[in-house]
Structure 1
């Protein structure tokens, strides 16, 4: 079972961003998924499913939003390297 989220926005928003309504709504979906991923609330796979794309495409598009694919501290990275 899936649920639907409805967001009300002024009809001028897409024009203000020089986008069609469809482009604006898709961008809003991506922005929500990326932010939830960045906040570590969703995994990359869950975020990709939220917007109806595959995980690899989601990860490859994170740079459009200034979000790194991997967000490890130096200590976490060193620990991972030690355990490799």
Structure 2
């Protein structure tokens, strides 16, 4: 699996009270949740990227106050008209 290296001032970890490993995991989760919120990836893809179940991803969305349903009212109306 490809790796990305980011450099942070060591004080970032202590300020957040996180180890570098915990910080990296939180950063990854935040990025994946953001991509989902932007509609760039699906819940299934997000779950896969994080190595968690869809239920766990939905829990992550709840914790981060991100709506689980990304469809607009117009999209829902259109879909209901189609059957």
Q: If the length of structure 2 is used for normalisation, what is the TM-score?
A: 0.80
Deviations 1:7-65 (A, max 9, x none): 22111112111222222111101001111111122211222222221222112211222
CA–CA distance in structure 1, aligned partners of residues 3 and 48 of structure 2 = 13
For residue 13 of structure 1, give the secondary structure of its aligned residue in structure 2. Answer: helix
Structure 1 residue runs of 4 or more that deviate by more than 3 Å after TM superposition? 80-84
Is 1:76 equivalent to 2:75 in the alignment? yes
CA–CA distance in structure 1, aligned partners of residues 82 and 67 of structure 2 = 22
C-alpha RMSD of the superposition? 1.8
Residues 44 and 64 of structure 1: is their aligned pair in 2 closer, same or farther, counting only changes over 3 Å? Answer: same
Gaps of 5+ in 2: none
Superposition pairs for residues 25-64 of structure 1, below 5 Å? 25-64=24-63
How many residues end up aligned between the 2 structures? 83
Offset of residue 80 of structure 1:
3.2
Q: If the length of structure 1 is used for normalisation, what is the TM-score?
A: 0.79
